[in-house]
Structure 1
Amino acid sequence: MFEKFKQWFLNNQRQQQRQKIADVMRFKNAVEKINGETYFIAHAQITDIPEILQVEQQVYGATPWNESAFSQEIRRTKDRLYLVVRKNDRLVAFAGCSFSYTKNEAHITNIAVVPEFQSHGIGRFLIRKMMRKAVLLDMEVMSLEVRISNVDAQRLYKKMGFLPGKVKKNYYFGDREDALDMQLNLNYLKGNE
């Protein structure tokens, strides 16, 4: 009798956890003001991938990820969240984040803002959205990699509380540039969200 109750209890807990994850990972598309400008923020769709690749090309000069990689990521709705930002129906930014429930870690997989919209607060806005989701999912750490040469992004991440860690040698495909690993302790945000 006790074993049946124990099994029922564990199954119930797992179901509640799955429901919590599904609820948190849901994202309602919205019109948002960022630094006084109006943008449309949406959950990324497969149909957004060509524009996402264009943004990558404008920002990085190449596309580090291909259509297949983005397609696989966007389809993983239980442990990935990809958001796009549009201005007048033009995709001007996107961000992706993976959530590891076993490690209690969120990882910014990609973030890019087209050059003419950089320094408008869009990157910060997207990271904050991901941070809120991570806190709701009880993640303890958020991590990301940033090019050693991208000092503007490093400055933004430091202002947001990310701390620099180890350098990952030859990290980026193509030019083999090093990456700086950065991490944010999310525990200090819990209770403030």
Structure 2
Amino acid sequence: MKKFKDWYRQIFQVQEAKYQDVLDIKNHEVYIQDVAYFLAKAQFTDIPEMLGIERAVYGGKTPWDSAAFASELRRETDRLYLVLRRNDRLLAFIGCTFNDVKSDAHITNIAVVTDYQNRGLGHFLIAVMIKKARHLGLQQVSLEVRRSNVRAQSLYQDLGFEKAGIKKGYYFGDHEDAVDMVLTTGISDHDTV
């Protein structure tokens, strides 16, 4: 039993260290379409602004509340939430959960303030998560999007996502259907061994 425990501990410590290395990002300046932005890991102090973006993007509603965001930000070993700022204004954010068992990086949330949409911010943030998934050796990146949000579906398809199914009545409140979308990273099980 001791050998098993040692083996188990060793495997999961290596996995946790790998995740920490890949999911740890340094706050830094990035250029998107020749405009400078500040990319950072989301902090608890960002939550009110993230909720404000949700309200602006989702017609006064917030699909997530502050407790949901706080819960996600606490889970640093398998979650990554990033924010983009310009002139100290939070303009966009993305959240992703990374799952070795399912070999999946699942984008849980992404939003860009309306006056900065169509400037490449969403594309940039999703590309970062795809890159992280590949570094972790995960086979796919997945997300759900409202069936009515054809603009977002088009963006995701431009990045290589394909429609994989429909979740009936998925969204809380209005029970709109969600389109499941999946991007295959090109990584296979034998590539990660």
User: Normalization by structure 2: what TM-score?
Assistant: 0.92
Partner of 2:176: 177
1:1-56 deviation per Cα after TM superposition (whole angstroms, max 9, x unaligned): xx876764554333222211111110111111000111111000001000000000
The structural deviation recorded for 1:175 is 1.8
CA distance in 2, matches of 1:10, 1:144: 31
1:144-172 deviation per Cα after TM superposition (whole angstroms, max 9, x unaligned): 01111111111111111100021111111
Partner of 1:155: 154
Distance 1:70 1:13, change over 3 A: same
- Give 3-state SS (helix, strand or coil) of 1:187's partner: coil
Partner of 1:48: 46
CA distance in 1, matches of 2:7, 2:91: 47
Amino acid at match of 2:25: F
- Give 3-state SS (helix, strand or coil) of 1:53's partner: helix
Q: Residue 138 of structure 2 contacts residue 187 of structure 2 at CA under 8 Å; is this kept in 1?
A: no
Amino acid at match of 1:34: I
CA distance in 2, matches of 1:78, 1:149: 33
1:1-193 alignment runs, 5 A limit? 8-61=6-59, 62-187=61-186
CA distance in 2, matches of 1:6, 1:46: 38
CA distance in 2, matches of 1:4, 1:97: 35
User: Normalization by structure 1: what TM-score?
Assistant: 0.92
CA distance in 1, matches of 2:48, 2:28: 22
Amino acid at match of 2:88: D
The structural deviation recorded for 1:188 is 5.8
Amino acid at match of 1:77: E
CA distance in 2, matches of 1:6, 1:85: 44
The structural deviation recorded for 1:103 is 0.8
Distance 1:185 1:6, change over 3 A: same
Amino acid at match of 2:36: T
Q: Percent identity?
A: 51
Distance 1:134 1:169, change over 3 A: same
Amino acid at match of 1:92: L
* Greater Cα shift, 9-18 or 136-145: 9-18
Distance 1:16 1:170, change over 3 A: same
> Unmatched 5+ residue regions in structure 1?
none
